[in-house]
Structure 1
Amino acid sequence: MTAPPGINPDTPGVAGVDEVGRGPLAGDVVAAAVILDPANPVAGLRDSKKLSAKRREILAVQIREQAVAWAIGRASVAEIDSLNVLQASLLAMRRAVEALQPQPVGVLVDGNRLPVWSYPAQAVIGGDDSVAVIAAASILAKVQRDAELTDLDRRYPGYGFASHKGYPTAQHLQALRQLGVSPVHRRSFAPVKNLLPETHRG
């Protein structure tokens, strides 16, 4: 993987952070932060979206076992609706990094925006497929959120959360029309908002 200019991802103590769940109509935004151990690398890291679910699960176990530190952060459905999904995503990433023990010496963030914080940091577009420590974070975030949506599928049957993970598939939109809006749906997102009574649209 190619190192970006600026913060060296191979420097001990540098964290990677990524989030998942900006596009779905339901569920929290989940972020993960990881500090890898240069002496105990994890092979096969890449963008979580390019890995099979089984491969992500295997790598997630390795990351949790071999990393110097890892942490999960989130922003709730209520925070997404009140802040907007971009700000909620940045908040989730900040919470993940702040939860790391030990704290990082610098942070590499997937994308083109940085959370508001005091860490030396660099945004890396496409970092989840070019920087190992960000790829590790993307894998942990994806595995965590997928598990949570599978749990929501049991709590709110009929919507198909376990299969589409909250994304606006035809199946999901049809279930929304038939079953109505659940407590875990994002009311600020148009496909959900349009199904609410006028008095609840905000």
Structure 2
Amino acid sequence: MQVELFGFDPAAGLVAGLDEAGRGPLAGPVFAAAVILDPARPIAGLNDSKKLTARRREELAARIKERALAWEIASASVAEIDDINILQAAMLAMRRACNALAAKPDQALVDGNRVPAALCCPAVALVKGDATQPAISAASILAKTARDAYCMELHARFPQYGFDQHKGYGTALHLERLALHGACEEHRRSFAPVRQTLLGNSHEVD
């Protein structure tokens, strides 16, 4: 379902969709993607990544990378998250993705209620845009699949935490493993559950 947006001109040229993944987890970077879809090569089934199965997300991610006019994935590190806070880190990741696009967009649609500073083009924020704007949906899928892939790498490095199961979110399993093993280098120290664990636990995993 398309919606009319104040300040957005659908005839203005190339439109990039921007979204992020990983604001809520206790560990790992926050990822973002920017996508400029090709009207001549539509992609059926685009939707908010959270409403798709993991298998469907992977299928659509491959299709997006094949058919989009341009796409880019970027991230902000755990150190950056702890330094500037998760909201600003998410904005930073989206700015990096948008500004790195091979084709410069004329405008951007950003999921949420904020627009990152210093974008390479004018932008409009749209709450729940990942469910209504195909370009944002595509960005949400690329960001989510990239972060999930990173979490599988974390699982290979730190199997004791179960990153393959919870993808860094603060599930009962993750909190249990965090209490048992302490924090590793990929845990976000600025997040309360990690900080509380560190206060009560003198060991960390390198």
TM-score, length of structure 1 as denominator length: 0.95
* Deviation, structure 1 residue 9: 5.1
In structure 2, what residue type is equivalent to 1:56? R
Contact 1:9/1:133 (8 A) holds in 2: no
| DSSP-derived class of the 1:158 partner | helix
Deviation digits for residues 24-53 of structure 1 (CA, Å, limit 9, x no counterpart): 000000000000000111111000000000
Residue in structure 1 matched with residue 2 of structure 2 by the alignment: 2
Deviation digits for residues 47-67 of structure 1 (CA, Å, limit 9, x no counterpart): 000000000000000000000
Residue in structure 2 matched with residue 71 of structure 1 by the alignment: 72
Question: 1:42-81 counterparts in 2 under 5 A?
Answer: 42-81=43-82
Residue in structure 1 matched with residue 158 of structure 2 by the alignment: 156
Aligned mates of 2:36, 2:62 — CA distance in 1: 15
Contact 1:73/1:95 (8 A) holds in 2: yes
Question: 1:93-112 counterparts in 2 under 5 A?
Answer: 93-112=94-113
Aligned pair partner of 1:166 in 158, 165, 168? 168
Contact 1:10/1:38 (8 A) holds in 2: no
Structure 1's consecutive aligned runs of 4 or more residues displaced over 3 angstroms after TM superposition are 8-12
Aligned mates of 1:63, 1:76 — CA distance in 2: 25
Aligned mates of 2:11, 2:51 — CA distance in 1: 23
Aligned pair partner of 2:143 in 126, 141, 144? 141
| DSSP-derived class of the 2:139 partner | helix
Aligned mates of 1:47, 1:10 — CA distance in 2: 24
Aligned mates of 1:155, 1:136 — CA distance in 2: 29
| DSSP-derived class of the 1:195 partner | helix
Contact 1:12/1:37 (8 A) holds in 2: no
Gaps of at least 5 residues in structure 2 are: none
Deviates more, 1:138-147 or 1:4-13: 4-13
Deviation digits for residues 97-128 of structure 1 (CA, Å, limit 9, x no counterpart): 01101111100000001110252100000000
| DSSP-derived class of the 1:109 partner | strand
* Deviation, structure 1 residue 4: 3.0
Q: Does 1:113 align with 2:114?
A: yes
Aligned mates of 2:143, 2:56 — CA distance in 1: 14
Percent of aligned pairs with the same amino acid: 57
Aligned length: 199
Aligned mates of 1:101, 1:120 — CA distance in 2: 17
Aligned residues: CA RMSD: 1.4
| DSSP-derived class of the 2:56 partner | helix
